[in-house]
Amino acid sequence: MGLPPPPLALTMGEPAGIGGEITLKSWVARNATGLTPFFVLDNPARLRALCDDLDLDVPVREIVDPTEALAVFADALPVLSIGEVPPVQLGKPAPTTAQAVLRSIDQAVVLARGGLASAVVTNPIQKAILYGAGFSFQGHTDYLASLCEDSPQPVMMLASEVLRVVPVTVHIPLSKVSAALTTDAIIETGRISARALAQDFSIPNPRLAIAGLNPHAGEEGGLGKEDASVIAPAIAALNAEGITASGPYPADSMFHAVARKKYDAALCMYHDQALIPIKTIAFDSAVNVTLGLPFVRTSPDHGTALDIANQGVASPAGLVAALKMAAAHATSRAKSRVTP
């Protein structure tokens, strides 16, 4: 038998949010949910204090090397210290913690790229606080890509057991989507998505369903020209490369149960076209996956939930799903690197 895979690296996230709480609760649920070992990049004293505040009985053990997590995980939550985290009141984020938040992410990426962590799982961040500290990225996805100059364009996927969606354009105003949408962008997003479906989801011949931009996919030009002039050529190009892609489909009929059986991922033209259906169908179990990075990265598909951060009622279901998907993808990716 070979050596066990490295543990997962879990980042701290926004310390005033629910990240610490769901981290602790995920460890409590480790046996019931079948979680593989993970360690969190945080401050051990902060998490111990949080246990007291939220009345959670979780033994927190500081480690100095990620490999220690494999032996520690059964009996305690392994924590690799990121140093001091300035105190903050739950529910009230403060700019003083911004550097600690980024330090946790940076260290997780270094460990994953160095083979000491099998994947990076990120707790939610409060972007407004980071912006105030000079953070110039739209979110986790762009920041992670900036730490990996050798990686292609990062692509955001929201994935669950019943639906996977990929927005081609993400955090831009709806009024700017048409101008930003290009044939090349759709082709590159399709390539990265198909590669990830094969490499991380173990789907050997992935099928992509491509949504139209306009109502009824343009109604043959009567409701917009982009479906025929921008999207259709991208679909033809993907098929010419050997990637199974079909569409453009009217988005209002792509996501019911029968339609979902005909594809492995849906490429959508803008943020809400992708996120509304998956959050309706799988609000508690959808996972944010970054495609196109040289390491596996997942995150729960919810925010920092500042409004409930001091109540002890946050559900760890989203983080548990992200941890389980990260472990599965790391295993699939490792197998794909093995030459028969």
According to the model, what pLDDT value does residue 340 have?
34
pLDDT tens digits, 15-33: 999 999 999 999 999 999 9
pLDDT tens digits, 271-285: 999 999 999 999 888
Question: How many residues are given for the chain?
Answer: 340
DSSP string, 292-312: SSSS-EEEESS---GGGTTTT
pLDDT above 90: percentage of residues in the chain: 83
According to the model, what pLDDT value does residue 3 have?
74
Percent of residues in the chain assigned helix, strand, coil, to nearest 5: 45, 15, 40
pLDDT tens digits, 287-338: 999 998 999 999 998 899 999 999 999 999 999 999 999 999 999 988 876 4
Q: What class is the 153-289 domain?
A: alpha beta
Mean pLDDT of 64-81: 97
Element (H, E) at 323: helix 317-336
User: Binning pLDDT at 50, 70 and 90, where does residue 150 land?
Assistant: low
Q: In terms of DSSP H, where are the helices of 182-225?
A: 183-199
According to the model, what pLDDT value does residue 143 have?
86
Mean pLDDT of 109-138: 91
The CATH superfamily assigned to 1-151+293-340 is Isopropylmalate Dehydrogenase (3.40.718.10)
**pLDDT reading at 49 higher than 90:** yes
Task: Estimate to the nearest angstrom the gap between the alpha carbon of 151 and the chain centroid.
Answer: 16
Domain(s) labelled CATH 3.40.718.10 in the chain stretch across 1-151+293-340, 153-289
pLDDT tens digits, 212-247: 999 998 788 888 899 999 999 999 999 999 999 999
Residue 248, preceding bond cis, omega within 30 degrees? yes
According to the model, what pLDDT value does residue 222 have?
85
**pLDDT reading at 149 higher than 90:** no
| Of the candidates 80, 65, 67, 127, the residue with the CA atom closest to the CA atom of residue 102 | 127
According to the model, what pLDDT value does residue 211 have?
98
